[in-house]
Amino acid sequence: MNELIFVLQTCIIAAGSLLALRLGKEALVTFITLLCVLANLFVVKQITLFGLQVTAADAFSVGAIFSLHLLQEFFGKKTSKRAIWTCFTFLLFYAAISQIHLLFIPTMFDTVHPHFAALLQFAPRLVLASLTVYFFVLHLDRFLYEKFQQLFGSKHFFVRNYLLLALIQLIDTVGFSFLGLYGIVNNMWHVVFVSFVVKLAAISLTTPFLLLVKKLQNRR
């Protein structure tokens, strides 16, 4: 059942990326930021995929890189760089405001504060791990994407997009898992291995959406 939900989730995120692209570069920058915040919020939930333990946020990480590729492909590297810094700014805001929220003393009738505390207590650590890893991988992705464009031009779009996404997600998975999830998840190696495999599956699901956009652009 989780596998079907994962496929549905990935397709919805990819469709959301295309909708944001349709709305313009500002919407796409906003969507990337939203995906990064949601990834940090949902990563503490552990699920089982294909019999192994994994977090529930892998599709959001792939969606953020996928959307960044859309941004750089259609609006240029300057806009994609601005998106990265916008994402980091609001991740910091999320980390700060989540901890301020926990400082409120609940009433004796409140029943949700313990759930908020359980969900948000890891926010500063997760955001710090995200900022550290994302700062590196997103800038590396932007740099390599530009080099791939210079090397291949508009040729081999499917291959260069898939290979670049796979490389970036491998670095992101290993880095974030050890910085952000060590001591939180039950089996770190399950998370690293399965997360990367799941991200490869998510990349396979999202790449056709990107090819569709390219074909529509070429027709226009």
In angstroms, the CA 187 to CA 180 distance is 13
DSSP secondary structure letters along 144-170: HHHHHHHHHTTTTHHHHHHHHHHHHHH
Q: Are 129 and 176 in contact (CB under 8 A)?
A: yes
The structure tokens listed for 138 are: 């997103």
Write out the residue range of the structural domain in which residue 41 sits. Answer: 2-219
Please write the tens of the pLDDT for every residue from 26-63.
Answer: 999 999 999 988 887 887 787 887 777 777 887 887 78
Q: Average of pLDDT values for 72-96? A: 84
**Tokens 């740099």, residue located:** 143
Amino acid at 178: F
Please write the tens of the pLDDT for every residue from 107-145.
Answer: 989 898 888 888 787 777 777 777 777 677 767 777 777
Domain count, the chain: 1
Which pLDDT band, with edges at 50, 70 and 90, does 213 fall under? low
What whole-number percentage of the chain has pLDDT above 90? 8
Q: Are 50 and 58 in contact (CB under 8 A)?
A: no
